């Protein structure tokens, strides 16, 4: 399983874990993979706290951070005004499904996410104060200052792409590592499958190394990605059902029961197409009466309070909140059937990869 990317980053296995949860990041890094903390939901202060914690847990082992750097987003204040029709739609939805208000002592989530160039710069300022080995960007090419700053510090710049054309642009912008993310993936995703996208991207950006992402949950899939020419895998969904993940328990229960057909690309949480669990929430936003989703980051800010109310009440069986509950996850959810420690996921991937490699070797001999 050893590829040049392992040497570049000082890791044992080229298994990358994207997670918003610092515990997952530390656990995967400590298991010999490479944890990447999603920083978009952070303020500089909370990012500093989490990275300090990760430093303590990983003691010099390598990890990275990920930022959303969308080419298009809406400049907005921390408390924007939403169109009245949008607010009324969300309120009506919560009323129709009988979702109770939050208790008075719990502040409503603002849904504010750090996607502006200034936000990214502030977060990077914090990240570079820690021994991060990789900075990843998604939704748009890394700005020149990010690349210069990262390269000066010996930090690898990675970029997520959903088409070969985007990959070429990211390479031209200075990305050292391309993550080819197929439509199967959880979160913001395009329309081309991993099986097709990975070889296409490898061909487009050769000799820049490429990681495969989207739908990868098992070691056999890791072997398939490597067979396509990827130098490793970048996974997000598989960590959502690990012991370390902070996934809402009722959503995690839905994930364990879901099949690969139970996800949908929807703009309903962020304004951009993102793959998530299909639920009454995504169905309602696809309905005739639904308004068009607002541009990023307004849709997240519009819906954050509603999501908070839904998750708080989704544990009650048969409740409207339970029907509405959703979260970002990819088609690989159909292969997730139990909660495991993140280290065990890494170890199982390695063991299954080896079994495939041995099977191939035996096929050559036979």
Ligand X SMILES: Cc1cc2nc3c(=O)[nH]c(=O)nc-3n(C[C@H](O)[C@H](O)[C@H](O)COP(=O)(O)O)c2cc1C
Footprint of ligand X (CB under 6 A): 18, 38, 40, 66, 68, 136, 138, 160, 181, 184-187, 213-216, 234-238, 328-330, 332
Q: How far is the CB of 107 from ligand X (least distance, A)?
A: 23
Q: How far is the CB of 28 from ligand X (least distance, A)?
A: 13
Q: How far is the CB of 363 from ligand X (least distance, A)?
A: 28
Of 15 and 294, nearer to ligand X (C-beta) is: 15
Q: How far is the CB of 84 from ligand X (least distance, A)?
A: 30
Q: How far is the CB of 288 from ligand X (least distance, A)?
A: 29
Six token digits for residue 21: 């949860």
Burial per residue of 270-282, b for 16 or more beta-carbon CB atoms within 10 angstroms, e otherwise: bbbbbbbbbbbbb
Place of tokens 């070797």: 361
Of 50 and 184, nearer to ligand X (C-beta) is: 184
Of 51 and 320, nearer to ligand X (C-beta) is: 51
Of 89 and 239, nearer to ligand X (C-beta) is: 239
Q: How far is the CB of 18 from ligand X (least distance, A)?
A: 3
Does the CA dihedral 282-284-287-289 come out positive or negative?
Answer: negative
Of 161 and 306, nearer to ligand X (C-beta) is: 161
Of 87 and 260, nearer to ligand X (C-beta) is: 260
Of 245 and 321, nearer to ligand X (C-beta) is: 245
Q: How far is the CB of 91 from ligand X (least distance, A)?
A: 26
**Nearest-CB residue to ligand X?**
236
């Amino acid at each position: 399983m050893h590829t040049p990317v392992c040497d570049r980053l000082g890791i044992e296995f080229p298994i990358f874990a994207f997670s918003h949860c610092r515990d997952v990041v530390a656990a995967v890094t400590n298991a010999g993979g490479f944890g990447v903390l999603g920083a978009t939901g952070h303020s500089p202060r909370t990012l500093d706290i989490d990275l300090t914690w990760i430093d303590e847990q990983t003691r010099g082992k390598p990890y990275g951070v990920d930022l959303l750097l969308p080419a298009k987003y809406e400049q907005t204040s921390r408390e924007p005004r939403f169109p009245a029709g949008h607010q009324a739609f969300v309120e009506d939805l919560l009323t129709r499904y009988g979702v109770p208000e939050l208790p008075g002592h719990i502040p409503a989530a603002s849904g504010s996410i750090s996607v502006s160039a200034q936000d990214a710069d502030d977060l990077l300022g914090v990240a570079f104060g820690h021994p991060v080995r990789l900075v990843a960007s998604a939704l748009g090419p890394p700005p020149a200052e990010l690349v210069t700053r990262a390269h000066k510090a010996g930090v690898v710049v990675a970029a997520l792409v959903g088409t070969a054309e985007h990959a070429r642009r990211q390479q031209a912008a200075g990305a050292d590592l391309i993550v080819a993310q197929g439509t199967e993936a959880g979160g913001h995703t395009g329309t081309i499958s991993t099986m097709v996208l990975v070889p296409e991207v490898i061909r487009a950006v050769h000799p820049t190394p490429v990681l495969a992402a989207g739908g990868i949950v098992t070691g056999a899939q890791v072997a398939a990605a490597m067979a396509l020419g990827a130098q490793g895998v970048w996974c997000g969904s598989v960590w959502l059902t690990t012991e370390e993940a902070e996934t809402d328990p009722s959503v995690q229960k839905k994930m364990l029961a879901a099949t690969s057909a139970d996800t949908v690309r929807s703009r309903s949480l962020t304004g951009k197409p993102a793959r998530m669990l299909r639920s009454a929430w995504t169905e309602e936003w696809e309905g005739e009466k639904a308004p068009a989703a607002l541009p990023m980051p307004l849709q997240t800010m519009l819906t954050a309070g509603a999501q908070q109310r839904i998750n708080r009440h989704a544990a009650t069986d048969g409740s409207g909140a339970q029907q509405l509950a959703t979260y970002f996850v990819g088609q690989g959810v159909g292969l997730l059937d139990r909660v495991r420690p993140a280290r065990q996921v890494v170890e199982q991937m390695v063991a299954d990869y080896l079994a495939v490699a041995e099977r191939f070797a035996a096929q050559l001999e036979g």
